[in-house]
């Protein structure tokens, strides 16, 4: 059975990667005229995004990279900005917000 969720229920939802890393919190849904384009995820204290992004406030995760939603949002590891050991961020499929 298909379970529906209201977009308003997703605000401040915790976001985790499929490898179990805490990614951040949902801040906003980005909509086109007929569907969800993506999710703006806020870099919160102790989140993986906070460590990687530094001064940026968050990223936009395309909806195609969302694997599951329930009490938390589960996203693909491909959404995670990759970075080298010296702290330089390398390009990924996410956009900085």
**In 3D, which of 53, 56, 54 has the Cα closest to residue 80?**
53
Q: Which pTM does this prediction carry?
A: 0.76
Predicted confidence at residue 80, as pLDDT, reads: 74
- pLDDT, tens digit, 9 for 90 and up, residues 71-84: 999 999 877 766 55
What b/e string do you get for 12-33 counting C-beta neighbours within 10 Å, with b at 16 or more?
ebebbbeeeebbbbbbbeeeee
- pLDDT, tens digit, 9 for 90 and up, residues 9-55: 889 999 999 989 899 999 999 999 989 999 999 998 888 888 887 77
Is residue 86 over pLDDT 80?
A: no
């Amino acid at each position: 059975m298909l379970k529906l969720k209201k977009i308003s229920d997703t605000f401040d939802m915790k976001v985790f990667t499929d490898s179990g890393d805490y990614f951040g919190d949902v801040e906003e849904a980005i909509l086109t005229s007929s569907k969800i384009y993506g999710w703006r995820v806020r870099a919160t204290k102790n989140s993986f995004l906070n460590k990687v992004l530094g001064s940026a406030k968050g990223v936009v995760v395309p909806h195609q990279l969302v694997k599951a939603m329930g009490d938390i949002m589960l996203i693909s590891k491909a959404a995670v900005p990759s970075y080298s050991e010296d702290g330089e961020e390398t390009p990924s499929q996410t956009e900085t917000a």
